[in-house]
Structure 1
Amino acid sequence: MDHDHDFEWRPGETLEVDGEAARTEASWFREVLGRYASGVTVVTTMTGTASGESPIGMTCQSFTSVSLDPPLVAFLPTRQSRAYAAIRRSGTFCVNLLAADQADVSDRMAGPSDDKFAGLAWHPAPGTGAPILDGVVGYVDCTVEAIHEAGDHVIVVGRVVDLATGEDTKPLVYHRGDYTTTG
């Protein structure tokens, strides 16, 4: 079976598709769903390494509120995401709502680098210690409430332990394969 690994679903997410017909179908699926504008977030946590704790993060567009009582949110990472593996181990994460001028942060967190936080200003969230990036329009700090299998992704449900607004500026939005802002 022909496995192709170069179909990009979202920034930084490369998925395996089987053959040309599956690639065509996946491209059409992406084209149609790309008409829906979504906010851009960076989901972060701290991970233990041989040299101590270090920050890890990933760009994520698939973020949503779930419940007001109790306060729950969800995001949907790919199963093979290193950041998701760290979040699963730590049991905590912080969703950083990116500002319009943070496309470079989104691109950095979507890439394969082992040192995504080099030179990036952040501070620990008061509830979990997960990184809050400087300059975001808001953040939602969470503990993992549940994880559900969902095809080549998982649905991570988080219980909100802290949240706040940040910079009073326009958010970063992703629409039709590119970054944009709202009015």
Structure 2
Amino acid sequence: MDETAIDPAVFRRVLGNYPTGVTVITAAGEDGQPIGMVVGTFTSVSLDPPLVGFLPDKRSSSWPMIEKAGHFCVNVLARDQLALCAQLAKSGPDKFSGVDYALSDHGLPVLEGTMVSIECSLHAVQEAGDHWFVTGLVVNLESRRDADPMLFHKGSYGGFSANS
């Protein structure tokens, strides 16, 4: 196979045509404070064992803290949670200021109002170019509410409308 250089701007524009769901990966830091990062690269990986995955950027300041925690929760956002998404996408110590969440039985921050929560123990981390490919072993999962999912498509956030 001929490996030609792909312009990163073209790569981003073309793959931007593929919509992704929007999740927030949360964990509890060493001080018990919540840690979180917005991720659009979440996927189901395996049924047996139950594994899920996501791909944090290697430049992420949140990922090393989540990795150190060893456990995380995938919070699947609904379309009506755009303000929450924008707040948690920020950097800095105040990103959880005013954010409603509850600690699960596993001690993980579960965001209020999300569609789904999936609690995991860290299973594996592999290098994947300028990202990490993280897999988590699912230890608990719950459908929390029926809502229109938040999607990211062509650089914008939106929702899904089913054909009638």
Alignment TM-score, normalising by the size of structure 2: 0.91
Inter-partner Cα distance in structure 2 for 1:116 and 1:130: 17
Question: Which structure ranks higher in relative contact order (CA pairs < 8 Å, sequence separation ≥ 6)?
Answer: 2
Q: Secondary structure at 2:29's aligned position in 1?
A: strand
Inter-partner Cα distance in structure 2 for 1:80 and 1:93: 19
Q: 1:158 aligns with which of 111, 136, 150?
A: 136
Q: Which runs of 5+ in 1 are unaligned?
A: 1-21
Q: What letter is aligned with 2:100? A: A
Per-residue deviation, 1:116? 1.0
Inter-partner Cα distance in structure 2 for 1:136 and 1:71: 21
Inter-partner Cα distance in structure 2 for 1:131 and 1:158: 16
Inter-partner Cα distance in structure 2 for 1:158 and 1:116: 24
Bigger strand share? 1
Greater CA drift, 92-101 or 107-116: 107-116
Q: Secondary structure at 1:101's aligned position in 2?
A: helix
Inter-partner Cα distance in structure 1 for 2:21 and 2:74: 11
Inter-partner Cα distance in structure 2 for 1:133 and 1:178: 22
Q: Secondary structure at 2:152's aligned position in 1?
A: strand
Q: Encode CA deviations 1:119-158: one digit per residue, 9 max, x unaligned.
A: 11001122x3121100001111000000001111101100
Sequence identity (%):
43
Q: What does 1:56-135 align with in structure 2 at a 5 Å threshold?
A: 56-126=35-105, 128-135=106-113
Q: Which runs of 5+ in 2 are unaligned?
A: none
Per-residue deviation, 1:75? 0.5
* Correspondence for 1:44: 26
Superposition CA RMSD, Å: 1.4
Q: 1:179 aligns with which of 157, 160, 163?
A: 157
Q: Which runs of 4+ in 1 moved over 4 A?
A: none
Give the number of aligned pairs.
157
Alignment TM-score, normalising by the size of structure 1: 0.82
